[in-house]
Chain A
């Protein structure tokens, strides 16, 4: 067939990819303006002395509230000024200084979440506390999985290290992955220790500033309260020229209105208070707007991540951040299910699809189950598979002469009645890029499936976990850097740990009652 209709010139060849839009322009304006009104008229609690000083100097009205905190009201002028100062994109690098996560446009990246108090042991099936080695193993698995783009600890080492756990979590992550690292920290000394480790790896502070590969995670104490430590840490990070990520862990119905528009406006106002603090400290500091768009289940009192409202909330918040042209990070992939089962798959897929369709830049949650209470390596494997499928879906179907394939259709038509497509050059040239292949889900027939052991998804996930743990070797850090990291982690002691003893306890007095 001749190229009379060359699609390259027709305007139809641009990428056609699916997307999700929930709000009209008017609706976006209403929600953003409502957030501004909350900032201006309702006020929010701030305790950090340095942040309070900055707010005062910038003309915020401030009223006394509690022992350490004051209520801050942000004028509209200041909000808009700070929004202008905040960079419109964030580029995160990997451990080797290669640009990796382009938090801009409608790009979506994925990682595990953190701080699940318990884990499923992949070998014994036991539900148990985390060891430092387990965080290393989670990181190793994450490093091996192609669709997980960054690492976040998944578990918590609080059992073994108390308030010092975060430095040790980061230490275990840094040793086992080259992917960017998201981390929790307790206070400023903690953050300092973690940044020092990162600077060791980067080859110095300037190199770290230039090519940041770590991002700190902090949460609002909703409703409308900001922890002293969180803002103190922002002052430190912004002062050092490192990016800040902040937002609400919303439980709509408990820490925000139960209705989503109100929950979104409040969450936006809460994150923006952090943005203002950071821009006042150091204009131009990259700031990621974050959200955990949680729903409090009002029957069970748990934070649901599988609720349909959660995905709607996620999409709404993402759209508002796009409207403000700010990098945005949310949770996705988390399930309320306790084990890798149909519910886990359905809830995780639903959230990944919505996250990608709405173009949320960073999505944390792979491996997290039971409303963040237990981490599962098997769920990480499942999430990796789901994201793979979602990414293929998001590529859409660009129309070109090749993809339309009028030539091959004509060719087959000319050779009827017996011609089919499977042996045509067009097929052999295109199928590998056109069709996504699952790494986990089975598509074989019943006989073949039975011969291979008739395995359920969770069993295959468990096999993959073991395969990675036993065979995969992540890229190692140079030995001298490893020694330095070890020293920093060993010496790190946060302020709280000094105050809390670790050993003795009370004596049992009466029968223990458990409901």
Chain B
């Protein structure tokens, strides 16, 4: 029986964990029998099934056809499947789609927005390190160094704490950390103009667009690295 990645993608869209997990297990076995290495099998399933499913969900969300809880349910299914693939991908030192350090800037205690974004990114194959609210530039930078992050998400809900996004970017710059990592900013009062003004690398108005932004920035970094 040939592998049908659509079964996984559809199970993710339908938020059916059992079907998705069973299909991933079965596909790993079939691909192995067909002579593919374990790593290549895992990559094929990740791209053909899991990411394809989450792409459909992201698109439905951007088109305003589904709701956040539905996206999160699908993300949970993706996560369950990733638990099967991660050991294989990690053993081969294959880097994940992107490594994100996310948090709310110092002085700001609001974390609901960045928690939602974390769930979305995680559900779309990113490795997410959520350092929580009231995080100082040092805390962001320490975590970045520790996990070798290539994306940083700075959240602010208050007009008074938005300047702390600028301060954090400045601290990254002074520490020479901006070559390897791209910085995204967000939060209800944050605008594209502000993000550009403080020299962030990217801005998204909501969690759905943050996933698209993160993908784009990872591509940009890849191009830079190749140069």
Chain A: CB-nearest residue to B206: A301
Contact with B along A152-182 (1 / 0, CB 8 A): 0000101100110100000000000000000
Q: Would A505 and B68 count as touching, CB distance under 8 A?
A: no
B166 contacts A by Cβ under 8 Å = yes
Cα distance A500–B179 in the bound complex, in angstroms: 24
Q: Interface residues of A: mostly helix, strand, loop or mixed?
A: loop
Q: Which of A16-24, A231-239, A416-424, A506-514 contacts B (4 or more CB under 8 A)?
A: A506-514
B159 contacts A by Cβ under 8 Å = yes
Q: Would B178 and A514 count as touching, CB distance under 8 A?
A: no
Q: Would B220 and A506 count as touching, CB distance under 8 A?
A: no
A75 contacts B by Cβ under 8 Å = no
Given contacts A509-B201, A513-B217, contact A301 B160 (CB under 8 A): no
Question: Which residue of A505, A513, A515 is within 8 Å of B166 (Cβ)?
Answer: A505
Q: Would A512 and B195 count as touching, CB distance under 8 A?
A: yes
A428 contacts B by Cβ under 8 Å = no
Determine how close the nearest CB of chain B comes to the CB of A213; give it in whole angstroms.
Answer: 25
B30 contacts A by Cβ under 8 Å = no
B42-92 contacts to A, CB under 8 A, are 64, 66-69
- Chain A residues with CB under 8 Å of B224's CB are 510
Given contacts A299-B64, A373-B188, A512-B200, contact A158 B162 (CB under 8 A): yes
Question: Which residue of B69, B109, B170 is within 8 Å of A298 (Cβ)?
Answer: B69
Cα distance A160–B51 in the bound complex, in angstroms: 44
Q: Would A506 and B201 count as touching, CB distance under 8 A?
A: no
Q: Would B112 and A254 count as touching, CB distance under 8 A?
A: yes
Chain B: CB-nearest residue to A186: B160
Number of interface residues of A (CB under 8 A): 39
Q: Would A513 and B220 count as touching, CB distance under 8 A?
A: yes
Question: Which residue of B172, B203, B209 is within 8 Å of A506 (Cβ)?
Answer: B172
Given contacts A502-B163, A512-B201, A513-B213, contact A301 B116 (CB under 8 A): yes
Cα distance A227–B162 in the bound complex, in angstroms: 18
B158 contacts A by Cβ under 8 Å = yes
Q: Would B203 and A515 count as touching, CB distance under 8 A?
A: yes
- Chain A residues with CB under 8 Å of B201's CB are 509-510, 512-513
Chain B: CB-nearest residue to A159: B159
Contact with A along B110-122 (1 / 0, CB 8 A): 1011001000000
Question: Which residue of B67, B69, B158, B169 is within 8 Å of A505 (Cβ)?
Answer: B169
- Chain A residues with CB under 8 Å of B14's CB are none
A300 contacts B by Cβ under 8 Å = yes
B196 contacts A by Cβ under 8 Å = yes
Given contacts A299-B67, A300-B206, A509-B201, contact A514 B167 (CB under 8 A): no
> For B159, B170, B217, which residue has the most chain A Cβ atoms within 10 angstroms?
B159
B174-204 contacts to A, CB under 8 A, are 178-179, 182, 188-189, 192, 195-196, 198-204
Question: Which residue of A158, A165, A221, A298 is within 8 Å of B67 (Cβ)?
Answer: A298
Q: Would A507 and B173 count as touching, CB distance under 8 A?
A: yes
A322 contacts B by Cβ under 8 Å = no
Given contacts A298-B69, A299-B67, contact A514 B160 (CB under 8 A): no
- Chain A residues with CB under 8 Å of B210's CB are 515
Cα distance A303–B206 in the bound complex, in angstroms: 12
A255 contacts B by Cβ under 8 Å = yes
A501 contacts B by Cβ under 8 Å = yes
A251 contacts B by Cβ under 8 Å = yes
Lowest 7 A-B CB distances belong to which pairs?
A158-B159, A506-B173, A515-B209, A513-B202, A117-B189, A515-B204, A156-B159
Hey, which bits of chain B sit against chain A, CB under 8 A? 64, 66-69, 107, 109-110, 112-113, 116, 158-160, 162-164, 166-167, 169-170, 172-173, 178-179, 182, 188-189, 192, 195-196, 198-207, 209-210, 212-213, 216-217, 220, 224
Extra A-B contacts (19), CB below 8 Å, given A512-B201, A513-B220: A115-B158, A158-B160, A162-B160, A221-B109, A301-B116, A373-B188, A373-B189, A500-B107, A506-B169, A506-B170, A506-B173, A506-B178, A506-B198, A509-B179, A512-B203, A513-B202, A513-B216, A514-B196, A515-B203
30 contacts between A and B (CB under 8 A): A117-B189, A158-B163, A162-B160, A162-B163, A163-B107, A165-B160, A186-B160, A221-B110, A225-B109, A298-B68, A299-B67, A301-B68, A302-B188, A371-B188, A505-B169, A506-B172, A506-B198, A506-B199, A507-B199, A509-B178, A510-B201, A511-B220, A512-B195, A512-B200, A512-B201, A514-B192, A514-B202, A514-B203, A514-B204, A515-B205
Hey, which bits of chain A sit against chain B, CB under 8 A? 115, 117, 156, 158-159, 162-163, 165, 186, 221, 225, 227, 251, 254-255, 298-303, 371, 373, 496, 500-502, 504-515
